[in-house]
Each structure stands twice: as C-alpha cells, then as structure tokens.
C-alpha cells in the first residue's frame, strides 16, 4: 500500500494593477517534479487580486522542503516576471477537516482542496496566467537556486525586489531599487599602481601624525582612517558602472558601455532624491526598473 501524499496551498499577492488568471485547458506543469497550478481568487468576494499556488503529490516528509523551495523560487521568478509577488507569511500548517483557514500556508492530505474560510472562491476561467509557473520552473533550474545557501547578498537583493512594487510612492520604489544596485555592486580593489600611490600617501600621513598635535593630528588621523577603509577600493559609482557593463555584455547588447553610463546616471539620481528632496520622474523610475531587472537576471543566471 502506497503512502499518502500531500498538497500545499500558498496564497500569493501581486502588486496593485496585476492579477493572475488560469486559462481553460491549460497544460499541466511541474515544480521540482511535482504538479503545480495557480488558482486565482475571485476579487469580487475576496477584495484583492490574490491567488493560490497549489503543489500536489508530495510525500509528507518532503512537504516542508518543497514549501521553503517554493518561497525561494518565487523571489527568483520575480526577476523573470519583472515584478515581485508576496507570499502569505507564516509557517506551513498540516491541516485536516473540511474547513480550514486558507489565509495561512497549509498542507493537506490528498489533492482535493478543503473549504477555505478566508472569503475566497477559487475559479479557473479568465486569461492565461501560466507565466508565473513558467518563471517558477525557470527559477528552480537557475544557478541562484542551486547555490541558494551561499548567496546571502543576492538573497537580500531578491527579498527587496520582491517587495518593490508594493511601495506606496514612486520615490520609495526608486530608493528600494537603488538599494538593490548597491547590494549587487561590490567594490573591487583598485589597480596596483593606484594602491602604491595610496600607500605612499598614507605613509606621509603617518609621518605628519607623529609630528603634529591638537586638531591637526585629529584631522590627519580621521583622514588616514578614511583612506584605509575607502581609498583602496573602487568607488560605488565605478562599481555600478562595471556591474552594468558586465551584465550588458553577458546579454549581448550592442553598446555595453552606454548601458554602464546610463547606470551611473540613474544611480546619481538617488543623491538628488535623498539629499535634495527632488522627486524622480516616471521615466527615470521605469529606466531604473529595467536596469535592476537586467542586473538581477545576470546575477541569478536567467
């Protein structure tokens, strides 16, 4: 007698203006070898544009791992879709009975979903929304998923990207996007010739510190500390430009250096926003979205 299998239901929320729909007679798809489907929620009853992801045929012992991998791949899939979705937070709950709280991530025996108590009605009519499932499959085969235990910085960037479109204003979305650029753009060491010049400058500062006192000595010490921490690595602007050029080259663009210049221009808008309070334009926000999406695709291997 074969062991019973379980299904997982995870409620997900797209940003305002987005919705998931399931086409009639859609081909069956899989996630990590298990059948997966998306079930939109009736917005007239639920008051939102949520949907359920349903993965079925899972041995109970593997359900928790599948649940965690599904959430990880949702973050990576956001890069393929061009926007993030937010899964319902909470631990996976194994449930029994005919009526359950569908507002929480649940696992239940078999494939027939129990009654849901969150006011939602699942339906199967509408437009084709399989793009999410295709992107989930793409994410599950990406280098970022295969190396998910070693990519803390990338995981943080994906976490922020997943939430960008849920920010209330264009300015807030722009700041979130620039923070992703900063996370991805790790400054590298400057060329050795530059390091030699910096070392000579620091040696001269050491000599002056030894013969100075008062405010001059304090200022020299602060300058030396700044030199040791910041001068030997490239600037954040240089890092952003280099990262953009690398991503553009990998994508086969005609003029990667132009893309690098555009990246530094967009990153420079952050200073005007943060330090001068100058709001960003919709055009610059759209361009920053495209930049970050290109950088993340390069980073996750899509």
**pLDDT number for residue 21:** 66
pLDDT at 202: 76
What confidence tier does 121 reach under pLDDT thresholds 50, 70, 90? very low
Top pLDDT among 116 and 249 is at 249
Mean pLDDT, the chain, rounded, equals 82
SS3 of 56, please? strand
Band of the pLDDT at 193, cuts 50, 70, 90? confident
| pLDDT average, residue stretch 281-302 | 93
Q: Say what the pLDDT of residue 220 is.
A: 78
3-class secondary-structure state, position 72:
helix
**DSSP-assigned states of every residue in 29-55:** EEETTEEEEEEEB-HHHHSS--EEEEE
> Does the structure show a pLDDT above 80 at 106?
yes
Give the other-Cβ count within 10 Å of 70's Cβ.
25
Task: Determine the pLDDT at residue 89.
Answer: 87
Query: What pLDDT score does 98 carry?
Result: 58
How far apart are alpha carbons 23 and 10 in whole angstroms? 19
Statement: residue 4 has pLDDT above 80: yes
Chain segment 125-174, per-residue pLDDT in tens: 333 456 788 888 899 999 888 887 667 889 999 999 999 999 989 999 99
Q: What is the pLDDT of residues 65-87, one digit of tens each?
A: 999 999 999 999 999 988 888 89
pLDDT at 55 over 90: yes
Cα 120 to Cα 102: distance, rounded to the nearest angstrom: 8
pLDDT band, very low/low/confident/very high, at 26 (cuts 50, 70, 90): low
pLDDT above 70 (res 45)? no
Q: What is the pLDDT of residue 276?
A: 86
In this prediction the pTM is 0.77
Q: What is the pLDDT of residues 230-272, one digit of tens each?
A: 766 667 888 899 999 999 999 999 999 999 999 999 999 988 8
Burial of 3 (0-12, 13-18, 19+ CB in 10 A): exposed
DSSP strand E in the chain: where?
5-13, 29-31, 34-40, 51-59, 86-87, 93-94, 99-100, 106-109, 115-116
């Amino acid at each position: 007698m074969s062991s019973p299998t379980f299904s997982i239901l995870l409620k997900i929320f797209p940003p305002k203006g987005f919705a998931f729909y399931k086409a009639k007679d859609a081909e069956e798809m899989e996630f990590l070898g298990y059948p997966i489907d998306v079930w939109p929620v009736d917005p007239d009853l639920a008051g939102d544009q949520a949907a359920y992801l349903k993965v079925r045929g899972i041995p109970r012992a593997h359900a928790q791992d599948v649940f965690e991998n599904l959430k990880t791949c949702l973050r990576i899939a956001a890069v393929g879709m061009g926007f993030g979705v937010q899964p319902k937070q909470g631990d996976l709950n194994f449930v029994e009975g005919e009526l359950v709280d569908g507002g929480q991530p649940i696992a239940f025996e078999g494939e027939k979903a129990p009654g849901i108590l969150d006011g939602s009605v699942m339906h199967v009519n509408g437009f084709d929304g399989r793009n999410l499932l295709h992107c989930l499959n793409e994410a599950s085969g990406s280098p970022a998923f295969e190396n998910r235990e070693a990519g803390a910085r990338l995981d943080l960037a994906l976490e922020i990207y997943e939430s960008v479109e849920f920010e209330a204003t264009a300015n807030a979305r722009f700041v979130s996007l620039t923070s992703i650029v900063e996370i991805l753009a790790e400054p590298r060491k400057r060329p050795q010739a530059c390091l030699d010049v910096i070392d000579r400058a620091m040696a001269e500062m050491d000599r002056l510190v030894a013969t100075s006192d008062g405010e001059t000595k304090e200022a020299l010490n602060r300058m030396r500390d700044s030199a040791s921490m910041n001068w030997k690595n490239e600037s954040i602007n240089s890092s952003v430009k280099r990262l953009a050029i690398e991503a553009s080259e990998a994508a086969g663009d005609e003029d990667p250096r132009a893309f690098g210049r555009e990246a530094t221009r967009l990153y420079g808008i952050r200073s005007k926003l943060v330090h001068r309070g100058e709001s960003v334009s919709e055009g610059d926000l759209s361009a920053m979205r495209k930049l970050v999406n290109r950088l993340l695709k390069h980073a996750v291997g899509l």
